[in-house]
Amino acid sequence: MPAGISLLWICAMIPYVITLEFKHHSAKDLESFLQRVHTSWPSITNLYSIGKSIEGVDLWVLAIGKDPKVHTVGTPEVKYIGNIHGDELVGREMLLHLIEHLVENYGKDPTITKIINSTRIHIMPSVNPDGYAMTDLENQCLSSSTGRYNKAGSDLNRNFPDYLQENKLPLQPETEAVINWILNETFVLSLSLHGGALVASYPYDNFKGDVNKQGYSKCPDDDVFIHLAKNFSYNHAGMFYGDECEGIPTFTDGITNGADWYPFEGGMQDFNYLVGQCFELTIELSCCKNPAASELETFWNESHNSLLSFFQLVHLGVKGQVLYSDGKPIENATVKVQGRDNINPFRTNQKGEYYRLLLPGNYTLEVTVPKGHSQSVKVEVFDKEPNLSALVVNFNFSITDGPSTTETYQGSNIAGIVEQNIILLIFSVLFSFIHF
Ligand SMILES: [Zn+2]
């Protein structure tokens, strides 16, 4: 056999393996890695860009899932974002290694296979490629640099519309792309990876209406956020100690309420929660923002269990569809959990779906369709064996409850409440990975 043909034959026989080096990847390296992954695993990945930076660099996202191109009813969406501060480099590299780990273990590792089959995962290694390009990779552990900002000098994690206080900063293209992304997908859970400390931070980052307030800014889902944050910190090799970085306050359990650490406005995590109905944590992964490439493998060893186990928390609580009796979905129905006074109530998407992260316990869900008719249902969320699905609670409304034939109900907000008082004994998930 001629040498050329023999080489081709050997290559065809070797399963495709991408070995990603532990180094800092430029925008070009990052793009070519994502393209290679997509080419090698086309059935479980989808590579797309949500827009461009000021310098015209694509904001790449790799989606991973059984059906990676489209949202499927009942499949929750998770996103991980890195590098919003361009000089915080560890998260960017960890996300590339996470992608490699997920695709290479699909079909081999049962847990990873289950995660990918039950969840649509979106990974954006860098939302601030221009800041990354301005970062000095040779001069390690600087406390501040121009690379933190985008090309226009804007801190993207101070640039989001703030529903607790007004944010008048001009919207940057990177921020606008992320906002549109959040509003167009049904994200349930999210991580934003940073550097400069070692802690899992959760909403709120700000206070409602009072710029000078200090201390803990508690949101209605504080219990869920604490659970999410502890899951991350206790699966990490050192975060839960809470005192890893010099000059940074000690964090009990390696977690903190954002405002309790320091309040600020325009943050991405408050926007995700208040507008996107998505529970996002801000994860500080490394005391040094831009460590040497030789340290990246250690960071991966320390953090990959946290990054992997966090995916499964998207299946906490309750999910379902709000439908008319003829099967048509009801968009924009509000889904409230009694006792949780969300500033913007959670609403169903175009397919009538809702996802509501909740810890095990008893809850009353109240669903109100746009014309005002409501139903309330009591549910019990159990802590049981992991099955990678939230408790499914669907709501069916009579066609006469809908907008087309509801003149009778116009202006009637709660007159039609139906108390079904059903205790739904279906199991939900609280994962056994948690050490606390
Ligand atoms: Zn940061």
Residue whose tokens read 């779906």: 353
DSSP letter at 287?
S
3-state secondary structure (DSSP) of residue 162: coil
Residue 371: predicted pLDDT: 82
Residue 142: predicted pLDDT: 80
155 Cα: distance to centroid of ligand 1 (angstroms): 9
Distance separating alpha carbons of residues 99 and 89, to the nearest angstrom: 16
Residue 103: predicted pLDDT: 98
Report H helices in 54-188. 90-105, 110-118, 129-133, 173-184
207 Cα: distance to centroid of ligand 1 (angstroms): 20
Q: In a 10 Å sphere around its CB, with 0-12 CB exposed, 13-18 middle and 19+ buried, how is residue 138 labelled?
A: exposed
Residue 431: predicted pLDDT: 32
- The residues carrying an active-site annotation are 284
Distance separating alpha carbons of residues 74 and 23, to the nearest angstrom: 38
Burial 174-213 (b: 16+ CB within 10 A, else e): bbebbbebbeebbbbbbbbbbbbbbbbbbbbbbbeeeeee
Tokens of 395: 């709501």
Residue 209: predicted pLDDT: 74
28 Cα: distance to centroid of ligand 1 (angstroms): 23
3-state secondary structure (DSSP) of residue 11: helix
Residue 384: predicted pLDDT: 66
159 Cα: distance to centroid of ligand 1 (angstroms): 13
Neighbours of ion ligand 1 (CB under 5 A): 85, 88, 194
88 Cα: distance to centroid of ligand 1 (angstroms): 6
pTM of the predicted structure, to 2 decimals: 0.88
List where CATH 3.40.630.10 sits in the chain.
17-315
Domain 17-315 has CATH 3.40.630.10: yes
217 Cα: distance to centroid of ligand 1 (angstroms): 20
Residue 144: predicted pLDDT: 76
CA distances from 178 to 64, 157, 173, 182 (A): 18, 11, 9, 6
243 Cα: distance to centroid of ligand 1 (angstroms): 18
Residue 227: predicted pLDDT: 98
Residue 200: predicted pLDDT: 98
190 Cα: distance to centroid of ligand 1 (angstroms): 15
Residue 17: predicted pLDDT: 59
Distance separating alpha carbons of residues 124 and 154, to the nearest angstrom: 20
3-state secondary structure (DSSP) of residue 65: coil
43 Cα: distance to centroid of ligand 1 (angstroms): 34
Given a contact cutoff of 8 angstroms between Cβ atoms, the answer to whether 136 and 61 are in contact is no
Residue 386: predicted pLDDT: 57
Residue 120: predicted pLDDT: 98
Q: What is the CATH number of domain 318-419?
A: 2.60.40.1120
Residue 139: predicted pLDDT: 86
89 Cα: distance to centroid of ligand 1 (angstroms): 10
List where CATH 2.60.40.1120 sits in the chain.
318-419
* DSSP state letters, 220-257: TTHHHHHHHHHHHHHHSSSGGGS--STTS---GGGEEE
- Across the chain, which has 436 residues, the per-10-residue mean pLDDT values are 47 59 97 98 98 98 98 97 98 98 97 97 98 92 88 97 82 98 97 97 90 89 98 97 85 97 95 97 96 97 98 96 96 97 95 97 96 93 75 91 37 25 30 31
Residue 388: predicted pLDDT: 78
Closest by Cα among 363, 372, 367, 410 to 390: 363
